[in-house]
Chains A and B, each alone.
Chain A
Amino acid sequence: MIDGAFLERLERLSLVSRRRLVGFGKGDRRSIHKGTSIEFVDYRHYAPGDDPRQVDWNIYRRSGSLYVKQFEEEEVLTAHVLVDVSASMDWGSPSKSTYAARLAAALGYIILAGSSRLAVATLSGATSTTFGPAWGRRQLSGVMSLLERERAHGPTNLDAALDGYARRAEPGLAVIITDLLTPEFEQGLRRLLDRRFEVTLLHLLAPEEVHPPMSGDLTLIDSENSSEVAITLNQEALDLYGTRFRAWTAGLESFCARHGIIYQRIQTSERLEHVLFDRLRRRGVLR
């Protein structure tokens, strides 16, 4: 799903929480200062600006590398990565679900490496399957096995699934990866916001959904509910689709903007690296 070299590069990234900006200190610091608690959580590479008192000199003596010990703070950030695994995600080449799993794993690693608590949930129908909350890099394998186990299936009911998750989970930062191909999701998002979740919406689409490649007389079959739409795809119909698509995404964007949700559209044709290191950083999701 994700190779080691890529993971190492991901170390340089961290998730940004707007609410906790103060707690993270001033802007150019890459690491979170965690020195006050006595509960050891993890090691991480030394970064300029870290308190030298936190360096584990024993490790330095053995390996010659500077590591700082991290201890759990009293108020640790909990980050939730919610992945839509409804049947509609299993579409496209590569399929959106595969892409979503890799994106979730990468984000999960960034969160774990950033010493935040991580909870990963897969949303399908009205239910969710949850991993965590957990912390520490070691938990990555658990995250991955959940993502691999949960193949895309069933219909989407984001409202119900998000509602259920919001009830159970500890509020924190929620990154939702979904194609939003469902009419009901606004209620679920509102519920998360109500529960003081800080929501980031990664809208994952296949390029074929943005620019349909097919033409002619077709019966389009819905992958979730098998409903059929008979249509003659000529240029006129494609133009109409384009108009409709833009109106839809504009609607989504305005909804998210109204509710303080970070909205980022991602196409599966984009390289994951580019998405993480460029798109999400520009958007302020990562830094």
Chain B
Amino acid sequence: MSLLTPAMLGLGILIPILILLYLLKVRRLEYPVSSTLLWQDLLRDLAAHEPWQRLHWSVLLVTQILIVGLVVLALARPFFVVQAQEAVHAVLVLDASASMQATDVEPSRFEVARRAARQTLRDLGEGSVATIVLAKSQPEVLAPATDDRQSLERAIDAAEVSFGPADIQQALVLATTLGPERGRLRVYLFTDGAFGELKGFDAEGIDIRLVSVGVDGENQAITGLAARPDPQNARRFQLFTRVRNYGDQPARTTFSLQVDGQLSESRQIDLPPGEAQEFMFSDLPLGAKAVEAHLAGSDHFPLDNAAYAVLDVRRSSEILLVSQGNLFLEKVLGLLPNSEVFRVAPRRYFSIDADRYDVVVFDGFLPDSMPRGSALVINPPESSLFTIDGELRRPRIRHWERDDPVLQFVDLRDVAIARAQRITPPGWARTLIESDDAPLLLAGEHDGQRTVIMPFDIRQSNLPLSAAFPIMMANILGYLEPGGQAAQRDLHPGDAITIAPLPQAEDLVIRRPSGPPKTIHVEGQPITFADTGEPGLYGVSQRAAGQTILEELFAVNASDEQESDIRPRTVLLGNGRPLQAGTQADLVPVNREIWLWLAPLALGLLLFEWFWFHRRS
């Protein structure tokens, strides 16, 4: 045992002082007696030494000496050197990627990692703080640096595994930037290693420890399921699927295919280790809407044993062209797949119900009130939508948004325009094609409806003759057509999907693979739906006046080429060095102070002294 502040032992002088106080004659109470005759003799025996009295070892004196001794000793801060874990700032990074759902360890890799994390928390040295980081596609701090073990354990309990990949590198970078709150920074990574190497992370100078979970990578997965129209027959669909064996053993499994819930195909397949097999199904029934593929068998990762695809049977959209007659437009709109074009002259526009069309193309005409559907406005006259400020002569195309979906694959370098309206861009629209002076193509959402403005007469340009024209028009109409986006999306669990309702739709009813359907009231505005945690087929019904007016499906697939490879691997750092495993913290000599025990002891003695004193008097 040693002392941190041995100088405090000097206060031990208090003990002799205390004894001195006992020796000194105390201030006495005066007590009149009849005579001191009998007492005087007594005095010779009792008080021999003046002014000192004989020291009586009373309980009080002994107790007080002990109290003073204990307090002085506590102030000197005695300590033992013990081998213990040092206090660190531990950052626990939990891999929440989908592969952590693998069940090669009971009950799952994530649960085992969770337990290991809890154990690591318990094993941390005294005075340590910890931070919990959940590595998902974006790292998430579940518990900020704290030494409150309970809140840390609660955070671990609340952690949920994701269905997608995890950005371990970003999580580690986050962990290392948290900075030591107290003591040294030490990062624990709980992972199965089923991700690529950490190319941009060399862990230089960082105490980082790997806690591996997962022992076995046996997994067969449907890594792809895609449908496309038959080139020979647009109404038929071809289905492609790929099944891969990620394990080290040959696997035999049964692949089954369900079309609209009916079993349509089942075959046994043999997969050599590491090999993939692809199948094509071309005889899907006509009018089929969705397919599900399943792999039977008991591998360690059931999540990717199912895949879902929605056959892109698009409802043909109805397009109204309001024009005096424009051959180019009629021709190009007629070429669009899945659409029906109706033409009306501007003077007869008000006699028809424009609200029932999905898209209205105004050519050289614009009514005061816009229809409920989306609109393409070409060469417009003056209107309340925007202000026209004269005319542009030979505007030069200076820039266009190549990345915008509307201008994808559109090359406008050779396009020349003779005349265009000079439009002041309204606030709701974004400029897609810019001249030196004014915009030449605008797109945006006006009153919740998508609107595209092309402020020039296409006949006053060479655009209709260029290769860009049909592509651009297809893009524009694709942007303007409502619905349909759902089926095109490749969704992972947790992804948000934007659903644009039909103009007349009042409610959206979303059916999930399990659980009750969800009804969302809409007023023409697109809604974002993010409750897609469960892989499977989702149905979206658009309803108006109690009738289902549009039924669509979208698929959420958990399979991921990278996540399906659940083989536990060594984590390689950016410098090629493997990450060292181990939770065992090195023991370091730690001063364990014992004043914490001395202080209550002194307090207890103090209470005893108080009790003893009052008991006597």
Contact = CB atoms under 8 A, between A and B. Distances in A.
Interface of A: 88-89, 91-92, 96, 179, 181-183, 206, 209, 214, 216-224, 227-232, 234, 236-237, 240-241, 244-245, 248
B23 to A, nearest CB: 12
Contacts, number: 90
Contacts of A240: 42, 45-46
A248 B31 CA distance: 22
A167 B28 CA distance: 46
A181 B26 CA distance: 28
B326 interface: no
A216 to B, nearest CB: 7
B32 interface: yes
A217 B34 contact: no
Interface in B35-61: 35-43, 45-47, 53, 56
Nearest to B617: A216
Given A217-B26, A219-B28, A230-B47, A241 B42 contact: yes
B33 interface: yes
A123 B30 CA distance: 28
B29 interface: yes
A231 B31 CA distance: 10
B25 interface: yes
B41 A91 contact: no
B31 A96 contact: no
Contact of A241 (B25, B39, B56): B39
B37 A181 contact: yes
B27 interface: yes
A104 B47 CA distance: 40
A222 B40 CA distance: 11
B36 A216 contact: no
Interface string B476-507: 00000000000000000000000000000000
Nearest to B40: A229
A86 B479 CA distance: 129
A88 B41 contact: no
B41 to A, nearest CB: 6
Contact of B34 (A181, A219, A248): A181
Contacts of B27: 217
Contacts of B37: 181-183, 222
A88 B34 contact: yes
B35 A218 contact: no
A214 B32 CA distance: 11
A130 B156 CA distance: 107
Contacts of A228: 36
A132 to B, nearest CB: 28
Interface string B77-108: 00000000000000000000000000000000
Contacts of B34: 88-89, 91-92, 96, 179, 181, 206, 209, 223
A214 B34 CA distance: 14
Given A234-B56, A237-B46, A240-B45, A229 B39 contact: yes
B53 A232 contact: yes
B43 A229 contact: yes
Contacts of A182: 35, 37
A231 B32 contact: no
18 contacts: A91-B34, A92-B34, A96-B34, A181-B35, A182-B35, A217-B25, A217-B27, A218-B29, A221-B31, A221-B32, A221-B33, A224-B35, A230-B43, A232-B53, A236-B46, A240-B46, A244-B38, A245-B38
Most buried by B among A224, A228, A230, A237: A230
Given A88-B35, A214-B31, A221-B36, 4 more contacts: A182-B35, A219-B29, A231-B46, A241-B39
A161 B448 CA distance: 131
B32 A223 contact: yes
B38 A218 contact: no
Contacts of B30: 218-219, 221
Nearest to A218: B31
B39 A220 contact: yes
Most buried by B among A214, A232, A240, A241: A232
A209 B53 CA distance: 25
Contacts of B42: 231, 237, 240-241, 244
The 4 closest A-B pairs by CB, nearest first: A181-B35, A91-B34, A88-B34, A222-B36
B589 to A, nearest CB: 52
A223 B39 contact: no
A25 to B, nearest CB: 43
Contact of A218 (B28, B41, B45, B56): B28
A223 B26 contact: no
B46 A232 contact: yes
B323 to A, nearest CB: 121
A236 B58 CA distance: 13
Contacts of B38: 181, 209, 241, 244-245, 248
Contacts of B26: 217, 232
Interface in B245-286: none
Interface string B404-417: 00000000000000
